[in-house]
Structure 1
Amino acid sequence: MRKLVKSLLVLLLVGLLVAGCGGATKKKIVVGLDDNFPPMGFRDDKNNIVGFDVDMAKEAAKRLGMEVEFKPIDWNSKEAELNGKRVDVLWNGLTITEKRKENIAFTKPYMENRQIIVVNANSPIKSKADLAGKVVGVQDGSSSVEAVEKDAAALKSFKELKKYPDNVAALMDLKAGRLDAVVVDEIVGRYYIAKKPGEYAILADNFGSEEYGVGLRKDDKELLDKLQKVLDEMKKDGTAAKISKQWFGADIVK
């Protein structure tokens, strides 16, 4: 009898050790984001991280039965943060590009966006061609950089393509006259412009359209499949549309 009890205790201990060493299901998802990217993810007046993507991630995590942690990162090093396993997903207006697909797995697109050109309201710049000889600002590490660099002729005509840590700094320099224009995600640009009526203008020309997706590690297929399933459910039952209307006044979910 003693031998039987001992054997059962050993088996129980082994089982507990296996569970503690990774046999247990993942209980928390860490979301990497740029916390200065309104309205997708940013800090409010009380320093809380809020935004459209934040609300989407919270709802998705709840449906997955997981806790969610929002971790501000250097957006220019986002792929290193993800593949270094310091975050589990990149969810903050992340544009799906062929280049990024080489290192990141994406959900299906959930939103479409354009790369718009913002100038001061009294600017003589009226088209992309007018940017020749001008200083243009972009957020470093953003898809705006890729969009501009893709248009080789326009890029070559610039006096300088100046990179900033975030869009807020770029728009402040535009207002101060240190920049002639800023290329920025439409969603972000329109959010800022709406808060400062009469200060900025958006040109009819742009640097192309793009799609947003959630980025995961390529070997995280199980999480990708589960996340895609709940995102599909959120779209189908109207939850995604409700969150979109709260932030944009309309359902702009793809």
Structure 2
Amino acid sequence: MTDQPVFRPFLMAALVSTLALFSTAARADDTAFGLSPEQPARLRAEKNDAAIAAISPDFKFVTPGKFTVAVSPGGPPLATYATDAKTVVGADPDYASAIADSLGLELELLPVAWIDWPLGLTSRKYDAVISNVGVTEQRKEKFDFSTYRQGLHGFFVKSGSPITAIKEPKDAAGLRFIVGAGTNQERILLRWSDEDVAAGLKPLELQYYDDEAASLLAVSSGRADVIVQPHAQLVFIAARDHNIKRVGTLSAGWPDRSDVAIATKKDSGLADALTIATNGLITSGVYGRILDHWHLSEEALPQSETNPPGLPRS
């Protein structure tokens, strides 16, 4: 996530209000997610000696014996407040817990406003940020990254729609898309539309709405064919409302892959250890089970990398 428009697909809070989250929490509990503060389904991981050995001798945890992680509770299934309105739960907290286990540490989660994480990380208020942060070349100047998910947008249509798959520009020709103005999704869809026109196909029609409710109503009523938003958010809505379905995903870095990563302070000496820990979770299967529990298996990475190529400067 970022305050720059081109990277707005990572900003979950911009599309889901806090009040809406609380009002839908009980309904969400009827799905496979489960938003209770106890999180009985949370997976634990074994200690990873190789990851521990990779921590720089110069690195000092904010609190000895604890892995202090900042997370922004911007929306389910990534991170949100539980039904007690104070405990942060979701895929990112579960992943943070598994990383803490791997390092032999106790997890301490700190809820923060998403816009505040860079300053908090550079000022050593926490050891790491695990909050759907996308890797960008600009951010790599100040932070190190250990990847743990793909950054995806989702193509969702109403249940019963004749549209079954959207994988490339030609699949989108002539369709009516709901997309956020100034977002990375919009930029990509405009390029798709140009490609379709150049190939003699119909252009895409982009529609813009002021809020999520109006967008979903437009899809369900047939005024629009497809809604494009951050994949994780639409996964939750589909599980909650049962009236939209996924017909494809789109990399935030299209045509290249764009990854989500743990952010740590530049050259702090922790990033390689977190990458090793993540790869250990992938090998053990814990990683896959966490993503599957939160309906995010499409976002799985084959392996974690330290500081891979990121989205270019806008």
Superposition deviation, residue 223 in structure 1: 1.8
Give aligned-pair identity as a percent: 19
Structure 2 counterpart of 1:104, from 136, 143, 162: 143
Q: Are the counterparts in 2 of residues 127 and 204 from structure 1 also a CA contact under 8 Å?
A: no
Q: Deviations over 1:218-237 (max 9, x none)?
A: 132x2222222222222222
What pairs with 1:22-171 in structure 2 (closer than 5 Å)?
Answer: 26-47=64-85, 48-107=87-146, 109-118=147-156, 127=172, 136-137=179-180, 145-149=183-187, 170-171=211-212
Give the counterpart letter for 1:41 in structure 2: A
Q: Are the counterparts in 2 of residues 148 and 154 from structure 1 also a CA contact under 8 Å?
A: no
Structure 1 counterpart of 2:239, from 194, 201, 215: 194
- TM-score, normalization by structure 1: 0.65
Superposition deviation, residue 130 in structure 1: 5.3
Classify the secondary structure of the residue corresponding to 2:99: helix
Superposition deviation, residue 251 in structure 1: 8.2
Q: Are the counterparts in 1 of residues 62 and 68 from structure 2 also a CA contact under 8 Å?
A: no
Unaligned runs of 5+ in 1: 1-21, 139-143, 163-169
Q: Are the counterparts in 1 of residues 92 and 131 from structure 2 also a CA contact under 8 Å?
A: yes
- TM-score, normalization by structure 2: 0.54
Structure 2 CA distance for partners of 1:119 and 1:73, relative to 1, 3 Å: farther
Q: Deviations over 1:133-161 (max 9, x none)?
A: x87437xxxxx934544666689x96769
2:298 is aligned with 1:248: no
Structure 2 counterpart of 1:232, from 248, 254, 279: 279
Structure 2 CA distance for partners of 1:25 and 1:37, relative to 1, 3 Å: closer
Q: Counting helix residues as a fraction of each chain, which structure ranks higher?
A: 1
Structure 2 CA distance for partners of 1:89 and 1:224, relative to 1, 3 Å: same
Give the counterpart letter for 1:226 in structure 2: A
Unaligned runs of 5+ in 2: 1-59, 164-170, 194-204, 302-314
Structure 2 CA distance for partners of 1:80 and 1:120, relative to 1, 3 Å: farther
Classify the secondary structure of the residue corresponding to 1:228: helix
Structure 2 counterpart of 1:172, from 213, 217, 239: 213
Q: Which residue pairs with 1:10 in the alignment?
A: none
Superposition deviation, residue 106 in structure 1: 0.5
Structure 2 CA distance for partners of 1:202 and 1:241, relative to 1, 3 Å: closer
Larger radius of gyration: 1
Q: Deviations over 1:42-92 (max 9, x none)?
A: 122223211122112112112213222222222234323322333321212
Q: Are the counterparts in 1 of residues 178 and 228 from structure 2 also a CA contact under 8 Å?
A: no
Give the counterpart letter for 1:35 in structure 2: P
Structure 2 CA distance for partners of 1:40 and 1:92, relative to 1, 3 Å: same
CA distance in 2, matches of 1:56, 1:99: 25
CA distance in 1, matches of 2:282, 2:72: 24
Give the counterpart letter for 2:71 in structure 1: L
Q: Are the counterparts in 2 of residues 38 and 188 from structure 1 also a CA contact under 8 Å?
A: yes
CA distance in 1, matches of 2:191, 2:152: 19
Cα RMSD after superposing both structures = 4.0
Superposition deviation, residue 121 in structure 1: 6.7
Classify the secondary structure of the residue corresponding to 1:215: strand
Superposition deviation, residue 249 in structure 1: 7.9
Classify the secondary structure of the residue corresponding to 2:68: strand
Q: Deviations over 1:99-141 (max 9, x none)?
A: 332332101x322242234566799x9947656xx87437xxx
